[in-house]
Amino acid sequence: MSIEHRLSADEVHYAWDREEVPRARVDSGDVVVLETRDSADGYFDRTSTHADVGRKGPLIGHPLTGPIYVNGAETGDCLAIKLLAVVPRQGFGWTAIRPGSGLLPREEFPNPFIVVWELESDGFARMRHRQDIAIPVAPFPGILGTAPRESGKHSTIPPRYCGGNMDIKHLVAGSTVYIPVFAPGALLSIGDAHAAQGDGEVCITAIEMAAQVRVQVDIIRARPIAEPRFRTPGSVRMASSRGAFVTTSHGPDLYEASRRAVRYMIDHLVVERGLSREEAYIVCSVAVDLKICEIVDAPNWIVSAFLPESIFD
């Protein structure tokens, strides 16, 4: 019979470290309910301003809840982590532009900028300063990971072979994530929840939020996968009932083609929807999906940016 464990957000850690002291020990099949902090560690609130973004220092590490020691998990196993529920712990989220971070360079977005979103009871997120954009809330943890094989402290910022900051919006409730084990007990940690995100998270933040995440953790013995995999229960909730507007870009470099597709989408949102360039960049980060549409006809590939048009009330 599985047991339910609870971890508050009162104590967090800020790096991947196989020597991190576990906050809980669980058996395979147990359920764990974790409170998580937002990626800025509670720095922003409903009254935060663009100046607050500028005053905040660089991200040292995401606050992570855990680690969880899974009894019996060994190198060569993997964990099956079933996401049972992901819900906001507060009624708001935020998205910020930090100059020099994200897909587009500082020269194009030189000023700090923030949008605060109300996470409303109808299941949508709306900007506090304008009500004509409604983003469907589809919460997920941006970070799930186990301890790395290497010793020492390792940054939470890049994704890793052991999971980490993957920012995969399909990891909503009902999904199962498979993460390899490289340390005794696996040492699972979770954090950086998002209320909504576009594939790419292009301005470097989604709708960031504090969350409660409920998971069931199972060991799959002698299953040495190299990197994470996942299974979804169906499509992530998408604002697509009115179709999408799509910009495309071609070229031999997928990164540069992605940049151009996003620039074209920002231009569209400014001209057709009356957004500022900063608001448009943020909408691209929380609602626009970057897709590789073609990668076999050298020397050029196609990247497209899909904007679900029903986000506009």
- Predicted confidence (pLDDT) per residue in 145-155, tens digit: 999 999 999 99
pLDDT at 76 over 70: yes
pLDDT at 239 over 60: no
User: How is residue 21 annotated by DSSP?
Assistant: P
pLDDT at 241 over 80: no
Determine the topology of domain 244-311 in CATH.
Endonuclease I-creI (3.10.28)
Q: What are phi and psi of 260, to 5 degrees?
A: -65, -40
Q: Where are the beta strands (DSSP E) in the chain?
A: 4-7, 24-26, 31-36, 64-70, 78-88, 92-97, 113-119, 124-127, 134-136, 140-145, 159-160, 163-165, 176-180, 186-194, 211-220, 229-231, 244-251, 289-294, 301-308
What integer pLDDT is reported at residue 130 of this predicted model?
87
Q: How far apart are CA 143 and CA 195, in angstroms?
A: 13
Of the pLDDT bands very low, low, confident and very high (cuts 50, 70, 90), residue 62 is very high
What integer pLDDT is reported at residue 240 of this predicted model?
58
Q: How far apart are CA 36 and CA 12, in angstroms?
A: 8
For the chain, give every domain's residue range. 4-231, 244-311
Contacts of 120 (CB under 8 A, 6+ apart): 126
The per-type count for the chain, helices as H runs and strands as E runs, is 3, 19
Query: What single-letter amino acid sits at 312?
Result: F
> By 3-state DSSP, what share of the chain in percent is helix, strand and coil, each rounded to 5?
15, 40, 50
Nearest CA to 101 out of 115, 92, 113 is that of 113
What integer pLDDT is reported at residue 234 of this predicted model?
77
What integer pLDDT is reported at residue 31 of this predicted model?
98
- Predicted confidence (pLDDT) per residue in 274-284, tens digit: 999 999 999 99
In CATH, which of 3.30.70.100, 3.90.1170.20, 3.40.50.720, 2.60.120.580 is domain 4-231?
A: 2.60.120.580
In 3-state terms, what secondary structure has residue 271?
Answer: helix
pLDDT at 99 over 90: yes
pLDDT at 204 over 80: yes
Q: What is the DSSP string of 197-259?
A: --TT-TTS--SB--EEEEEEEEEETT---SS-EEE-SSPPP---TT-EEEEEEEES-HHHHHH
- Please give the structure tokens belonging to residue 260: 């151009």
pLDDT at 238 over 60: no
What integer pLDDT is reported at residue 131 of this predicted model?
85
